[in-house]
Structure 1
């Protein structure tokens, strides 16, 4: 729930994107208002495991939204991939998670409105966020209207640029276009040094940060002859 101040003075809601249950516990310990729960942030986030989600249900004391993304890469999904997303959303609704995060595009760079609508309907009362698939659309103003028609509650975006600072003009336009019909959740290289500028120049009420930090392995022995992917 947003902090109880007037719209003009209210501090932005802070969402932190994490990988796994340890990340969730760390984020809520430092005061996150909401958490996006993913696996494999190096791929931009994919659906976390059932065990991770159940642990989050048991241990979270702030709302968390679960990423529903069957793989890394683009957001154009096959019929079987989409079926798995639909099943995941339905299962997450039954588990009672607070919200879900997903996004589907057509090959021409438009939002896949039919699939987004069906996924949102499957989510029922859950909070629904469209992730940065939005930033890959060809016409952001129309993409936003499509999400509104699909009854999506918020959209995560950096203003279709690598960082929110670069995407400031579009972010401000999207906030104006959205009004009170959908929440614009700003993201993209946000930190202590630029959050105030981004907020003041866009009017964003919610801001998203990624909790990315390399953690050295605690293994005493590591086989130098075998690589296990990533940075091992």
Structure 2
């Protein structure tokens, strides 16, 4: 069993970052718009997060939802966002870039890595839709990427367990594998059986903003999106319980 397990918590705002730190996070991934799976946060969020907590902040650079094949307009935006995020204090950059056929866009990744420089480079779950994960892993190693966020090319870590086991064995000493999809029912299994020493945790609850209710028929996004009265906020009680469970399982203090 691993003696220490690093907990990374997925955040969608400055308040989420503060909640994550209070709950016991050792590192956060900062996004915005979790309804879309996480896109680039504002510079204000990054700067205030760096002022508010003393743990590493990985910043998502993703210009939109949907896939990961980007136009030159989007690429220019991503490059500028990366530079701005680093200037604002980001400890690492989370990114992904694929071609339309689902293969890794190596040349674009090289462009991004040149900008990221000595900050941590994390390849996000675009990895979970590539055709040849082992070939992509090797290429990411060659590019200097530090870590891959993955659920083993499935929607749950349980379903992706076999590939995760292979990736852990194959990647040892070359690149870090960061599993997502951690839940109370599987965290012990992930630590003791899969031998992970870091975990990516996410949990959000709904908070209400009643300021639109004088005219509730009006909407400002898509009518298919969540109601205008609700928005997501990190679930402190859940995250705190998860961090405490991980401490108990590992029988060790959290990493400082």
- Structure 1: how far apart are the matches of 2:139 and 2:157? 22
Deviating more after overlay: 217-226 vs 74-83: 217-226
Aligned 1:69-218 pairs, distance under 5 A: 69-188=62-181, 190-218=182-210
Q: Secondary structure at the match of 1:135?
A: helix
* Residue 23 of structure 1, CA deviation: 0.5
SS at match of 1:215: strand
Can you give the 5+ residue segments of structure 1 that lack an aligned partner in the other structure? 1-7
Partner SS, residue 128 of structure 1 = strand
Structure with the greater relative contact order (CA < 8 A, sep ≥ 6): 1 or 2? Answer: 2
Q: Give the secondary-structure state (helix, strand or coil) at the position aligned to 2:208.
A: coil
Note the C-alpha offset of 1:129. Answer: 0.5
The equivalent residue for 1:3 is none
**Pairwise CA distance, 1:191:** 1.3
How many residues were matched structurally? 224
**Quick check: 2:2–2:195 contact (8 Å CA) kept in 1?**
no
Q: Secondary structure at the match of 1:213?
A: strand
Could you tell me which residue of structure 2 aligns to residue 231 of structure 1? 227
TM-score (norm 2): 0.83
- Over 3 Å counting, the alpha-carbon distance change for 1:91 and 1:196 in structure 2 is same
TM-score relative to the length of structure 1: 0.92
Give 1:231 deviation, angstroms. 2.2
Task: Name the residue aligned to 2:40.
Answer: 47
Q: Distance in 2 between matches of 1:225 and 1:218?
A: 13
Query: Shift in Å at residue 153 of structure 1?
Result: 0.5
